C-alpha cells in the first residue's frame, strides 16, 4: 500500500492548507476512514497512528465527529516543534468528503486533487491530491 502523507503548509496555493497526498491505495484508505466516521462505526481516528499515513515535519492529524455544529472544524496547535491538527466534522460532512475524493480512485485518474470544504469556522483549507506531489514534499 502506498503511504498517505499530510502536513500544514502556510503558503500553499495562496493560503494556509492542510494537504493530504498519496497514491490510489492511500486515497482509498482515507475514503474508508471518512466512511467509517460518516457511518458512526468510528468516532475518531488518529491518522498518524494508522501505519499507512505519515505526517511531514512531525505533523499529527486527528479526525473526529463533531460534538456540535458550533465546534471549530479545524484546530491547529504546536508543541515542541510538532504540529497537531484536529479535524472535526459531522457525519454528513465526512460522507460528503468520501464522495468528493471518489473520482481520484478511478483507475484512469493518474493525477488530480479535490478541495474539501469545512463548513464551520475553518481557518484554512483542505486539499486531497493524487499523483501531483512527491513523497518528500516538505
43 CB burial (10 A radius; 0-12, 13-18, 19+) = exposed
The C-alpha cell 505526517 sits at: 55
What distance in Å separates the CA atoms of residue 37 and residue 89, rounded to the nearest whole number?
Answer: 9
Q: Is the pLDDT confidence value at 18 over 80?
A: yes
Please indicate, yes or no, whether the overall pTM of this predicted structure exceeds 0.75: yes
pLDDT band at 71 (very low <50, low <70, confident <90, very high): low
Query: Quick one: pLDDT at residue 128?
Result: 97
What distance in Å separates the CA atoms of residue 47 and residue 61, rounded to the nearest whole number?
Answer: 5
110 CB burial (10 A radius; 0-12, 13-18, 19+) = exposed
Ramachandran quadrant class, 65 (left: phi over 0; alpha: psi -120 to 50; beta: rest): beta
Go through the chain and tell me how many residues it has.
138
The average pLDDT across 44-66 equals 94
Query: Quick one: pLDDT at residue 62?
Result: 95
Query: Quick one: pLDDT at residue 28?
Result: 97
The average pLDDT across 99-122 equals 87
For domain 4-129, the question of CATH label 1.20.120 is answered with no
pLDDT band at 113 (very low <50, low <70, confident <90, very high): very high
pLDDT band at 24 (very low <50, low <70, confident <90, very high): very high
Q: Is the pLDDT confidence value at 135 over 70?
A: yes
Amino acid at each position: 500500500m502506498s503511504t498517505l502523507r499530510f502536513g500544514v503548509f502556510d503558503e500553499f496555493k495562496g493560503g494556509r492548507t492542510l494537504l493530504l497526498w498519496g497514491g490510489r491505495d492511500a486515497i482509498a484508505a482515507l475514503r474508508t476512514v471518512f466512511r467509517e466516521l460518516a457511518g458512526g462505526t468510528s468516532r475518531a481516528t488518529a491518522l498518524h497512528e494508522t501505519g499507512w499515513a505519515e505526517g511531514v515535519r512531525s505533523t499529527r492529524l486527528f479526525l473526529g465527529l463533531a460534538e456540535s455544529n458550533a465546534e471549530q472544524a479545524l484546530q491547529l496547535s504546536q508543541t515542541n516543534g510538532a504540529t497537531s491538527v484536529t479535524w472535526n466534522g459531522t457525519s454528513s460532512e465526512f460522507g460528503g468528503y468520501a464522495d468528493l475524493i471518489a473520482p481520484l480512485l478511478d483507475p484512469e485518474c493518474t493525477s488530480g486533487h479535490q478541495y474539501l470544504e469545512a463548513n464551520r469556522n475553518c481557518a484554512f483549507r483542505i486539499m486531497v491530491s493524487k499523483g501531483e506531489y512527491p513523497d518528500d514534499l516538505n
